[in-house]
């Protein structure tokens, strides 16, 4: 498994971790201290901001899980992959694609695009 694949798998695992203490430790290991996360509906900065985002998604979508949709790929300090969010064993109603900038092996900037969302 490449470093890119490992980073993507660890990222998905952090978003799925429901134990607050474990999730915080995963985020601190995975993200740079000054990391930035942006998507069309929210943003978070630093470990605390990203942890709040993950907890908020878990509260809004109880029982939903993130999964990698395809193999992560990257070059130099860039990483991209697509993901799904939905209940286990069912078609995911939410999908997205993330682009990360990596600094010293940790995620420094994350830009997440929402490719599929349920109709409001």
Quote the pTM value: 0.95
Residue 29, Cα to own-chain centre: how many angstroms?
A: 14
Q: Which residue has the tokens 């660890």?
A: 10
- What is the DSSP track for 39-80? -SS-EEEHHHHHHHHHHHHHHHSTTEEEEESS--EEETTEEE
Q: Which CATH number fits domain 3-115: 3.30.1300.10, 1.10.10.10, 3.30.420.40, 3.10.450.50?
A: 3.10.450.50
Contact indicator for 67, 83 with CB cutoff of 8 Å? yes
pLDDT confidence bin for 23, thresholds 50/70/90: very high
DSSP SS3 for 118: coil
Burial 12-27 (b: 16+ CB within 10 A, else e): bebbbbeeeeebbebb
* pLDDT higher than threshold 70 for residue 1: no
Mean pLDDT of the chain: 96
């Amino acid at each position: 498994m490449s470093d890119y694949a490992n980073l993507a798998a660890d990222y998905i695992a952090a978003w799925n971790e429901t134990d607050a203490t474990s999730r915080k430790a995963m985020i601190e290991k995975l993200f740079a201290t000054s990391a930035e996360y942006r998507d069309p509906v929210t943003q978070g900065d630093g470990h605390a901001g990203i942890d709040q985002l993950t907890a908020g998604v878990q509260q809004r979508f109880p029982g939903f899980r993130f999964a990698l949709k395809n193999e992560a790929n990257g070059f130099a300090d860039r990483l991209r992959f697509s993901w799904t969010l939905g209940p286990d064993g069912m078609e995911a109603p939410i999908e997205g694609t993330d682009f990360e900038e990596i600094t010293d092996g940790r995620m420094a900037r994350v830009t997440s695009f929402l490719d599929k969302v349920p109709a409001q």
